[in-house]
Structure formats: structure tokens, C-alpha cells
Amino acid sequence: MMRLLNVTLVKGTIALGVGLMSANSSSAADLELGLPIVCKLGEDCFVQNYVDIDPGSEVQTATCFRAGYDGHKGTDFRVLDTAETADVVASAPGVVRGVRDEMPDRLVVSEQDRQRVADKECGNGVVIAHGGGWETQYCHLRQGSLAVSGGDRVERGQKLGQVGYSGFAAFPHVHLSVRKDGKTVDPFLGSFDQAGPRLTRCNEGTSETLSYDQPLWQGDIEPLLADAEGTIIQSGFADGPVKSLDLEQGLASQPESRSPALVFFARLINLQKGDRVTLRVEGPEGILAESEGEPVERQKAQWVAFAGRKLRSATWPAGDYTGTVTLVRNGEVFRQKTSRFALDG
């Protein structure tokens, strides 16, 4: 009942790949990772959390932006809400070591929920062995979506299942862990040995542009790093005040001409202390609502802001409505997003 990943070990020795690695550490070519999810990064999926490289009780991540939480051992790629489906795919070729597919998709919102998934935090998942001591693990997949079994040989990009929210998941996402010889490796840093020096660098408060000498990711890593600094993941309209949990489940309803309220909302991730989120809503008859926002008091993994008005006449005026959200950092526009919708008369 409380077993860990339902690991089906492949009989015999797993011999994979070519070229034996020398004993004196890893090279950049050890393992190359593609994205573990099929989506448009920065549009319909985002990197919410990174690996915590601080071995103590503090949090630090390779970007020095602390976009993670204590003890986090992977990279979290989130989708907007639980109604969205996206394929989870193998980041590198290998052999499936084990799968689990029997846990329900249920967002963790309370301590009770958390206890419910104790020792099974990964939820439905897949572990793939890549040879040379490398392993990747994919967590929180949608129940019933698993497309591979223990012992299967998989290629990079091959479907493993669908993104979900089983196990310890407060939002729908796939968590990718990378391990070498059982030790967590931050795929941005590329080897276990890089974590200590990077932590020192972050703690020194360096203002230099950080370099990533041996990332495991294939291609340009900039798009993968952008979300760590804070970004607007969604904006839209609703017919009343919105709650974070409703948005996680895609439950905001678009206003209609007789809706009791008309609200513009925005969701942001990885805000820094002092950031401000301003909102401006315009309708056919001019400005409907405006909010300057208060500076956030501390780092925020997720943030929901909204502004709007109650209905004061029989119907809302027909025409175009526009909402603009701005993330203001150090007094300057850091990110901005505009949403529009039209109300028929």
C-alpha cells in the first residue's frame, strides 16, 4: 500500500549507450536532455520551480533567484490548469526502470492532503535509466495516462504519459529529477560538483551575469531560465472575484452582459520582494477599474491579482474590454500582458 515507485527491475545488467565514463567526473556529453513536456514554453507551460542547491534549510537555485522550495530535487514544468492536457515525454533515451499509475489526480491544498501522499510524493511516475549511472524521473502524471511499462526501451521525445497532479502537487505539472549515481544533479549546472560553487556565488550576491558552462539541456537554455525571474503566466476576465484554486482548475467564467461583476485577473509566478502588480481595465465607456498594487512583502511562488467592478445598471455596455497587467520591478516595467474580450449587445 505504502510502497514507493512500483519499480519493475529489468532482469540482468542494464547496458546502455556507448563510451564508458572515466571515473574522474562527468563531461557535458554525459546526458543530453530534451524538454520532458510537449508545450510552448512561456505560452502554455512555465518553469515554476528549480532544484534547491542549498543542502541546509535555506533555498537557493542555480539562477540565484530562489525559485524553488527547501529540499526540491527537480525542475517543475507547470501548465495553466488541471483542464489542460500535455504529453510528458522522455528527456533522453533509455530503459524504463519502473512506473506507477494508480494514484488519483488531486491538488494538495492542506496538511491532510499532504499526509495522504506521504511517501508517494511523486504520484504517478516513470523512472528511466540512461546508462553511466544517469537516471531521470518524471512525477505527478495523470492517472491512467501511462504509456510505458518497466523494461521498455524509450527514445528521447517518446510519450510516457500526460501531465497531471497526482502525488504532492499543488498545481498541474511534471517534475523532472535527474540523478547520477543516485545523487541529484541540477540539469542547469550539469554535475553534482557545480552546486557548491554556485551556492557560494549566489550567497555572495554577485551582480555578474551567471554562466552555465555544462547544462544538460539541449539547445538554448535562456527560455528555461526566464521564468525564474518572475513572469505573468495568464490574464483574463471573470464574472466575479477569482481564487487561486479556481484558476488552477480552470474555473473562471467569462463575464456576460448581466453578470453581477466584471473582473480582470492575472496570475504570476516567482515574484521578488518589492515587486508590484498593476492592473488596468477598460471598457467601451472608458476605464472600469485600476489598481496600483502593493509591493509584495517577500518572494512569492504564485500570485493572483484582480480588479473590477460590480454591475450598476441592467447590463454591461456592449463592445470591447481590455485588461492590462504590468509587473513593475525597481520602478520599471518588467513584464506586461494584455487581454481582450468582446461583449455582444
Q: By the criterion CB under 5 A, which residues form the site for Zn ion?
A: 74, 76, 175
Nearest approach in angstroms of CB 169 to Zn ion is 8
* Closest CB to Zn ion among residues 48, 194: 48
* Closest CB to Zn ion among residues 74, 323: 74
Within 10 Å of residue 183's Cβ, how many Cβ atoms?
A: 12
Cell 527547501 identifies what position? Answer: 70
Nearest approach in angstroms of CB 137 to Zn ion is 10
Cα 261 to Cα 312: distance, rounded to the nearest angstrom? 9
Q: Which residue is nearest to Zn ion (CB)?
A: 175
* Closest CB to Zn ion among residues 74, 187: 74
Nearest approach in angstroms of CB 174 to Zn ion is 9
* Closest CB to Zn ion among residues 127, 266: 127
* Closest CB to Zn ion among residues 65, 316: 65
Nearest approach in angstroms of CB 175 to Zn ion is 3
Nearest approach in angstroms of CB 268 to Zn ion is 19
Nearest approach in angstroms of CB 139 to Zn ion is 7
* Closest CB to Zn ion among residues 175, 179: 175
Phi and psi dihedrals of 171, rounded to 5? -155, 155
In the chain the beta strands, taken as DSSP E runs, fall at 45-49, 75-79, 87-89, 94-100, 124-131, 134-141, 153-154, 159-162, 173-180, 183-184, 231-238, 261-271, 276-283, 286-291, 300-310, 319-329, 332-343
- Comparing CA positions, the residue from 51, 63, 44, 54 lying closest to residue 221 is 63
Dihedral over alpha carbons 255, 251, 160, 12 (to 10 degrees): 160
Helix, strand, coil shares of the chain, percent, nearest 5, are 10, 35, 55
